Structure 1
Amino acid sequence: MRVEDIDIAYDDEGDGIPVVLVHGHPFNRSMWRPQVERLRSRYRVIAPDLRGFGETPVRSGSLPWTAFADDLIGLLDRLGLERVVLCGLSMGGQVVMEVHRAHPSRVRALVLADTFPEGETVAGRELRHGMAARVLREGMGGYADEVLDKMLSPRNVVALPAVAEHVLGMMRGTSPVGAAVAWRARAERPDYVDSLSRATVPVLVVVGEEDEYTPVAVAERMHAAIPGSALAVIPGAGHLPNLERPDAFSDAVERFLAGV
């Protein structure tokens, strides 16, 4: 669907309360396939490719961080959706936090999975800019190989070969330009602790028990900062519990949505 200057690719299945699933970096909307198939019998499930990922192009070498949230709002406008449940994982969780900060009236509830609300540190900015330069220089292959056993629990890389292949394929298939643009934009994101602490909508925090990028302690801290929020820790999963333990992840989301 045309939104502003780009065509946003997305899946839109089912009927009922709209639930928008926002993927992480450097992935695409196919990471949500187990949740789309599970939730579409009771909800309208929308899973877009963010700008520069999957089948959604990126038109320039730089973007403001707010562009990703603006794209989601533009998509909701084109679909005629006023208020939605927003579910985001990792970078997708931070995009969801930006929508909540800038457009709170559009948010019916939040699911924040394997993500963190704090703004970037100086070291973090340098790291993200360095990774952007690296993939533009070398491509995505080396990076993808290096981080696979951090994206997934190392045991699941072995135990779930089809999942590992899917995750590796998403990372290798991501445009280096899209990945770089997102890393640079993400390095400039604001801190969301204050806006989340004032949230008046239902919030579910989800985390894989073995997540190295956003450990359980980070999720517990975010849960404590958000009044009335719920916390679900997914056993036997790393940074991508929706793929590593899709039934447990979807169970937690469905229980939450039942009360929305």
Structure 2
Amino acid sequence: MGTFTNGPVTIAYDDHRPDGTGPPLVLVHGHPFDRSMWAPQVEHVGRTGRRVIASDLRGYGRSTVVPGRTPLQVFAQDIADLLDRLGVDEIVLGGLSMGGQIVMEFHRLFPDRLRGLVLADTTPQAETEESRRAREAMADRLLREGMDGYAKEVLPKMVAPANLRRYPAVAEHVLGMMRGTPPDGAAAAQLGRAERPDYVASLARVRVPALIVVGDEDEFTPIADARLMHELIPGSTLVVVEGAAHMPNLERPAVFNEALSTFLDAIPGER
């Protein structure tokens, strides 16, 4: 594990195969998780010789907790600053759920640094007034009650109920990440997401290869959201993972990894 200190914030990250070939793959975790959610992908892609970078977002994992409100722009800037510190220019950037929205924000801010996009179980639309109020209420709840009740409540939506029974280690991992997330960090991210912009217009301007993945049982970001992104991004690839909910990378890692490898193999090493 490495750390990168930027002002008052220290970001924890893993940099696998820094001498790897091709544009590095940078993976952004979702809420309320940490970089360990990408373990199957880090191992799989690393075996191909490609560099893989995964960090804990501020407020999550082993990175600094910053109370208040953390907009997606701040998360995206943290990634850019980490890449600058590591001397990395162009990347393939992938994220799941909130991580996917951070990927979209990174594209809005730094399109010239991208060689490819991976958008998993995420949505490009701005919050509605109703969903904005719901996020604000959830932030209040997390600060008041902590993470335990929320984690138990959403676990059957994060991981399909059949997979909770079939893969207890996955269920334990997901529950542990959620319980271990600092409430201040999770609440700050929820408040920041409540103000996120609409990415529909910017996705239509994507000019790099894009892979869109979604679990067919995802209730948070259903297949319709994935299809919308597929229609918006010219030449994008859509993969629907059967028998998975919101975390197909952990529920069906072999299927997710195959789609990811096929996508990465098609991206030229030099430009």
TM-score (norm: length of structure 1): 0.98
| Residues 182-193 of structure 1 mapped to structure 2, 5 A cutoff | 182-193=189-200
The whole-number CA distance in structure 1 between the counterparts of 2:147 and 2:67 is 19
The whole-number CA distance in structure 1 between the counterparts of 2:70 and 2:61 is 17
- Could you tell me how far 1:216 is from its partner in structure 2? 1.2
Q: Does 1:21 align with 2:21?
A: no
**Residue 4 of structure 1 contacts residue 74 of structure 1 at CA under 8 Å; is this kept in 2?**
no
Aligned residue pairs total 260
Residue of structure 1 equivalent to 2:61:
54
Superposed CA offset, 1:92-142 (max 9, x none): 000010000011011110000000101111011101010100010000000
- Could you tell me how far 1:58 is from its partner in structure 2? 2.2
- Could you tell me how far 1:91 is from its partner in structure 2? 0.1
- Could you tell me how far 1:63 is from its partner in structure 2? 2.7
The whole-number CA distance in structure 2 between the counterparts of 1:132 and 1:144 is 13
Say which SS state the counterpart of residue 9 (structure 1) adopts. Answer: strand
- Could you tell me how far 1:149 is from its partner in structure 2? 0.3
Aligned-partner residue type, residue 6 of structure 1:
V
| Residues 148-167 of structure 1 mapped to structure 2, 5 A cutoff | 148-167=155-174
Q: Does 1:176 align with 2:183?
A: yes
Equivalent in 144, 147, 154 of residue 140 of structure 1: 147
The whole-number CA distance in structure 2 between the counterparts of 1:56 and 1:233 is 32
| Residues 58-97 of structure 1 mapped to structure 2, 5 A cutoff | 58-97=65-104
**Residue 66 of structure 2 contacts residue 185 of structure 2 at CA under 8 Å; is this kept in 1?**
no
Residue of structure 2 equivalent to 1:221:
228
Residue of structure 1 equivalent to 2:121:
114
Say which SS state the counterpart of residue 32 (structure 2) adopts. Answer: coil
Equivalent in 248, 255, 258 of residue 241 of structure 1: 248
- Could you tell me how far 1:64 is from its partner in structure 2? 3.1
Equivalent in 1, 6, 18 of residue 3 of structure 1: 6
Identity %: 59
Cα-Cα RMSD? 0.9
**Residue 67 of structure 2 contacts residue 185 of structure 2 at CA under 8 Å; is this kept in 1?**
no
Aligned-partner residue type, residue 39 of structure 1:
V
Aligned-partner residue type, residue 258 of structure 1:
D
- Could you tell me how far 1:235 is from its partner in structure 2? 1.3
The whole-number CA distance in structure 1 between the counterparts of 2:193 and 2:147 is 18
**Residue 206 of structure 2 contacts residue 233 of structure 2 at CA under 8 Å; is this kept in 1?**
yes
- Could you tell me how far 1:162 is from its partner in structure 2? 0.5
**Residue 156 of structure 2 contacts residue 164 of structure 2 at CA under 8 Å; is this kept in 1?**
yes
**Residue 51 of structure 1 contacts residue 58 of structure 1 at CA under 8 Å; is this kept in 2?**
yes
**Residue 112 of structure 1 contacts residue 206 of structure 1 at CA under 8 Å; is this kept in 2?**
yes
TM-score (norm: length of structure 2): 0.94
The whole-number CA distance in structure 1 between the counterparts of 2:71 and 2:233 is 26
Aligned-partner residue type, residue 131 of structure 2:
G
The whole-number CA distance in structure 2 between the counterparts of 1:93 and 1:65 is 10
- Could you tell me how far 1:200 is from its partner in structure 2? 0.5
Say which SS state the counterpart of residue 167 (structure 1) adopts. Answer: helix
Tell which deviates more after alignment, 27-36 or 9-18: 9-18
**Residue 148 of structure 1 contacts residue 167 of structure 1 at CA under 8 Å; is this kept in 2?**
yes
Say which SS state the counterpart of residue 210 (structure 1) adopts. Answer: coil
The whole-number CA distance in structure 1 between the counterparts of 2:101 and 2:37 is 17
Say which SS state the counterpart of residue 111 (structure 1) adopts. Answer: strand
For structure 2, the 5+ residue unaligned runs are none
The whole-number CA distance in structure 1 between the counterparts of 2:194 and 2:40 is 30
Residue of structure 1 equivalent to 2:108:
101
Residue of structure 2 equivalent to 1:205:
212
> After TM superposition, what 4+ stretches of structure 1 lie above 3 angstroms from structure 2?
none
The whole-number CA distance in structure 1 between the counterparts of 2:70 and 2:156 is 29
**Residue 13 of structure 2 contacts residue 54 of structure 2 at CA under 8 Å; is this kept in 1?**
yes
The whole-number CA distance in structure 2 between the counterparts of 1:164 and 1:25 is 16
